[in-house]
Amino acid sequence: MKSFAEMKVSEKALAALRRYGIHETTPVQEEAIPIVRTGADVIVQAPTGTGKTLAFLLPLMERMKPHVDEAQVLVVTPTRELTLQIAKVARALAEAFALRVIALYGGQDIERQKDKLRRHPQMIIGTPGRLLDHLRRKTLRISQSNRVVLDEADEMMKRGFLEDVEKLISALAPDRQLLLFSATMPDRVRALARRYMANSREVKIEAEHVTLDTIAQTVIDTTEETKLDRLCQMINEKQPYLMMVFCMTRQRVHRVTMELARRGYLADELHGDLTQAQRTFVLKKFRAAQIQILVTTDIAARGLDIEGVTHVVNYDIPRTTEDYIHRIGRTGRAGRTGEAVTFVNARQYDQLRRIEAGIKNRIAKLRSARSREKAKAREKIRAKALKIRAEEKKKAAKPLSKYANRKGAEHKGRNPRSRRNPAARGRDNRGGRGKHEK
């Protein structure tokens, strides 16, 4: 990999990157940064956790004008958490470029956001709903913005933000540069790219097995009735430092969290029903290891970079391979090892096989102690049955002649010329050559 110095990044930006221990580019940064610098429209398909944020922030900030009090860059994200994470990285770099950055998302006081917008930020990062809200109130002016980033575009389409995104794009300057970053490239994302991009260039980074190889993946066969007990048993056995437990619905998240808390575990919940202040507070506690277990929906599967997550549990099996990769990607980050466990019931094995086909790998099945004992007992019964069958077969076998033990006897003890052989005696009686005939 190239270093950022080789990529001709400014000294001030290099110093900011060094403070975070970043020295070398990732594959997506090495390929995307030079293209973004040219001003061309770019489609970047790369898995989560590959460094996409710096791939667009660095080249865009290099071309921004700090003395112009207008919004020059708009970054659109599907979730508040991803907005906050990108804004954190952007503010760290903005000091080096003397730029102002603002994050706009729902759940935050809109009047405070209006005050910040009056300070003329040059980079705006936000979720589609809140950005459109400010646009309708005419507190957000992006008619002069000529660079827009759609981050996690596939997730935005999945959440139904397509119309909102199109309205935002149409409000931008006509000579805009559009950067589309996505982990997958479904048809709707392709259609959006064709509609608004001209002569776009494409960067595709394949999902590397190395990313998953740092994560020990296992499957545990459970039923709905035994899931919670199996989760508690696993926590007691593994003693995780930080664990994320993924459920499909908010109601399920709340129920599992309450049960874990009732049993004495340090657990809290994260889902869309919480206010932004509550979500921020929960994440802060989890990052500080004040809570050990975070029970969450897929809202935490993307965009969150939390150090120290040692275990991920798919309490409910994810719908797609992409969701599975995003979930388990919360652990095993930055070269560290992690463990991912998926609970599966008898009706979900087809879904599991599709995930295995997607990741091109078979996930090992972890048996419980009770299951191992049952398997061992079945094996003993099978071995005993085979032994009895072999003994019965031996008893039922025909006795061999006295010639059986002769070395090199090809007849294997069944001499066709033996007097014991009825066929041989029949030939003698019919006038055939007998033993003493010449």
Note the pLDDT of residue 108: 84
Contact (Cβ atoms closer than 8 angstroms) between residue 143 and residue 174: no
Domain spans in the chain, listed from the N-terminal domain onward = 11-204, 209-368
Q: Which CATH architecture has domain 11-204?
A: 3-Layer(aba) Sandwich (3.40)
Asked whether residue 120 carries a pLDDT value surpassing 50, the answer given is: yes
Q: Is it true that 11-204 and 209-368 share their CATH fold?
A: yes
As a whole-number percent, the residues of the chain with pLDDT over 90 amount to 38
Q: Which segments within 131-290 are labelled E, that is strand?
A: 147-150, 177-182, 201-204, 215-221, 243-246, 267-270
d(CA 144, CA 130): 19
As a whole-number percent, the residues of the chain with pLDDT over 70 amount to 87
Asked whether residue 134 carries a pLDDT value surpassing 80, the answer given is: yes
Q: Residue 92: pLDDT band by 50, 70, 90 thresholds?
A: confident
Sort strands 123-126 and 101-104 into parallel, antiparallel or unpaired. parallel
Note the pLDDT of residue 437: 47
Asked whether residue 270 carries a pLDDT value surpassing 50, the answer given is: yes
Q: Give the mean pLDDT of 27-36.
A: 91
Note the pLDDT of residue 405: 54
Note the pLDDT of residue 435: 47
Q: Residue 243: pLDDT band by 50, 70, 90 thresholds?
A: very high
Query: What is 209-368's CATH number?
Result: 3.40.50.300
d(CA 131, CA 105): 7
Q: Give the mean pLDDT of 393-397.
A: 78
**Cβ within 8 Å of residue 418, ≥6 positions away:** 401, 403, 424
Q: Which residues of 161-174 are buried (b: 16+ CB within 10 A; e: fewer)?
A: bbebbeebbebbee
Q: Walk across the sheet containing 364-366 and list its strands.
A: 267-270, 293-296, 243-246, 311-314, 338-344, 215-221, 364-366
Q: Find the range with the poorest average confidence among 74-88, 111-125, 281-295, 387-401.
A: 387-401
Q: Residue 7: pLDDT band by 50, 70, 90 thresholds?
A: confident
> What contacts 24+ positions apart, CB below 8 Å, involve 222-228?
222/343, 222/344, 222/345, 223/345, 223/346, 224/345, 227/315, 227/343, 228/256, 228/259
Average pLDDT for the chain: 84
Note the pLDDT of residue 356: 86
Question: How far is CA 96 from its chain centroid?
Answer: 33
Note the pLDDT of residue 415: 58
d(CA 330, CA 248): 17
Note the pLDDT of residue 367: 64
Asked whether residue 130 carries a pLDDT value surpassing 70, the answer given is: yes
Q: Give the mean pLDDT of 30-38.
A: 92
- Spatial CA neighbour of 243 closest among 278, 172, 295, 318: 295
Asked whether residue 438 carries a pLDDT value surpassing 80, the answer given is: no
pTM, 2 dp = 0.63
Question: How far is CA 355 from its chain centroid?
Answer: 11
Note the pLDDT of residue 276: 78
pLDDT, one tens digit per residue, over 157-197 is 888 898 999 999 999 988 899 999 988 888 888 888 888 98
**Cβ within 8 Å of residue 274, ≥6 positions away:** 282
Asked whether residue 430 carries a pLDDT value surpassing 70, the answer given is: no
Q: Walk across the sheet containing 101-104 and list its strands.
A: 101-104, 123-126, 73-76, 147-150, 177-182, 42-45, 201-204
Q: Give the mean pLDDT of 122-146.
A: 93
pLDDT, one tens digit per residue, over 212-228 is 678 899 999 998 899 99
pLDDT, one tens digit per residue, over 56-72 is 999 999 989 989 888 99
pLDDT, one tens digit per residue, over 314-342 is 999 998 887 888 888 888 776 678 899 99
Q: Residue 209: pLDDT band by 50, 70, 90 thresholds?
A: very low
Asked whether residue 151 carries a pLDDT value surpassing 60, the answer given is: yes
Note the pLDDT of residue 372: 63
Of residues 1 and 42, the one with the higher pLDDT is: 42
Note the pLDDT of residue 424: 53
Note the pLDDT of residue 370: 62
Q: Give the mean pLDDT of 91-111.
A: 90
